Amino acid sequence: MLLLLNFGGLFGQNMTPAIIVSVETMLERWKGQEGKEIEVYNEFRLLTSEVISRTAFGSNYLEGEKIFAMLNKLTILVSQNISKTKIPFINKLWKSAEMLESENLEKGIQDYVMEMIKKREDKVVSGEADSFGNDFLGLLVNAYHDLDDKNRVSLEDLVGECKTIYFAGQETVNSLLAWIVLHLAIHGDWQEKARREVIDIFGNQNPHLEGIAKLKIMTMIINETLRLYGPSNGLPRTVAREVQLGKLVLPANIDVLSLNIGLHRDPHLWGDDVHHFKPERFAEGIAKATNYTAAAFFPFGFGPRSCVGMTLATIETKIALSMILQRYTITISPAYVHSPMPILTIRPRHGIQIILEPLHSC
Domains and CATH numbers, the chain: 1-232+299-358 (1.10.630.10)
pLDDT tens digit sequence for 256-299 = 877 788 889 999 999 999 999 999 999 999 999 988 887 788 88
**Residue 10: pLDDT over 70:** no
Structure confidence at residue 80 (pLDDT): 64
For the segment 352-358, the average pLDDT, to the nearest whole number, is: 96
**Residue 9: pLDDT over 90:** no
Residues of the chain with pLDDT > 70, as a percent, come to 85
Tell me if 307 is assigned to a ligand binding site: yes
**Residue 228: pLDDT over 70:** yes
Buried b (16+ CB within 10 A) or exposed e, 319-344: bbbbbbbbbbbbebeeebeeeeeebb
pLDDT tens digit sequence for 195-205 = 999 999 999 99
Is pTM beyond 0.85? Reply is no
Q: What angle do CA 106, 112, 114 make, to 5 degrees?
A: 100
The DSSP call for residue 166 is H
HSE-CB of 160 using CA atoms within 13 angstroms? 7
The residues, ordered by sequence, that sit 6+ positions from 122 with a Cβ below 8 Å of its Cβ are 128
Pick from 123-127, 128-132, 228-232, 278-282 the range whose average pLDDT is largest: 278-282
**Residue 2: pLDDT over 50:** no
331 - beta bridge partners? 355
pLDDT tens digit sequence for 136-195 = 788 888 888 888 888 888 888 887 777 777 777 788 899 999 999 999 999 999 999 999
Q: Which of 117-121, 317-321, 322-326 has the lowest mean pLDDT?
A: 117-121
The per-residue pLDDT of the chain, averaged, comes to 84
Residues of the chain with pLDDT > 90, as a percent, come to 39
The terminus-to-terminus CA distance of the chain in angstroms comes to: 47
